Structure formats: C-alpha cells, structure tokens
A = this chain, B = another copy of it.
C-alpha cells in the first residue's frame, strides 16, 4: 500500500517553507512536530510533504502571533489522537479571535497613520508644511479608554 513517498532534506524543506534550517531544527527541539522527525541511514533528517504542509500551517500560526508553547499544545493534542477535537477546536477558535481583533486594531492604527500622512501631503502641496508641529503632533489620537488593566 504505502508507496515510499518522496522525502525531502532539511534544505529542501527550508526552501519550500521559508523557514531556515536553523529554525527547523529548533522547531524539532521545541516539539513542534507531530511525529518524531525521521532520519536516514546517515543520521540526516528526512521530511515528508505532510510535514511541509504542517510547517506551512505552523508558519501562519507564528505569523499571526501564536506562541511556540501554544503551537506545541496543539501539536500535543494532535499527537494524542482522536478524542480531544473539542479542545483543539477551542484552541484554534481562541487564536482566530485574537487574530481578528488584532486585524481590527491594526486597521485602526493604520487609519491614524494614514491621516497623518494625508495631513503632511496636504501641507506639502499647499506649501505650508513649515507650520507642521508648531506645538505638538498635529494629529490627534482618539484617546480610547486607556487600558484599564483588565481585572483578570
């Protein structure tokens, strides 16, 4: 059945995932692979395309700010096999929510910066740029209730 699949060296995986070989070894140490990474007769790491798939997902997690411990937790659940899908789901949904709010936050901040850029553009066009920053940053930030350190 299981036809011996084409395997990949660490540098090939690096090229396919954008993660450096250093990082791949590091991820292994950190327990971010579901199965222990296999080795060939010479002791070199041998990866499958499934692992590459996972690494791509992993990269998305990382890129969106998921911590290595959280990823490891997810991996552990997968490793334990069927039965804990609820927990995996909770973990994923939780992260998804964080990313969603981060996107919104970033969009807001972006608007502020865009406004500042537009202000400079207007002043430069009007030749009145030397009036910028007479006293204080001339763009005002909403002041949003200043992080009352959430009781928890």
Cα separation A41 to B24 with both chains bound (whole Å): 57
> Which residue in B50, B106, B140 is a CB contact (below 8 Å) of A99?
B106
CB distance from A15 to the nearest CB of B (A): 6
B residues near A89, Cβ cutoff 8 Å: 117, 120-121, 124, 129
Q: Are B92 and A116 interface neighbours, CB within 8 A?
A: yes
B residues near A147, Cβ cutoff 8 Å: 18
CB distance from A59 to the nearest CB of B (A): 8
Among A2-34, those with CB < 8 Å from B are 15-18, 34
> Which residue in B53, B117, B141 is a CB contact (below 8 Å) of A141?
B53
Binary CB contact string for chain A from 28 to 50 against chain B (1 if under 8 A, 0 otherwise): 00000010000000000000001
Q: Are B140 and A53 interface neighbours, CB within 8 A?
A: yes
B residues near A102, Cβ cutoff 8 Å: 106
B residues near A18, Cβ cutoff 8 Å: 146-147
B residues near A140, Cβ cutoff 8 Å: 53, 56
Among A115-140, those with CB < 8 Å from B are 116-117, 120-121, 123-124, 129-133, 135-137, 139-140
Cα separation A141 to B62 with both chains bound (whole Å): 14
Cα separation A59 to B50 with both chains bound (whole Å): 41
Cα separation A83 to B132 with both chains bound (whole Å): 10
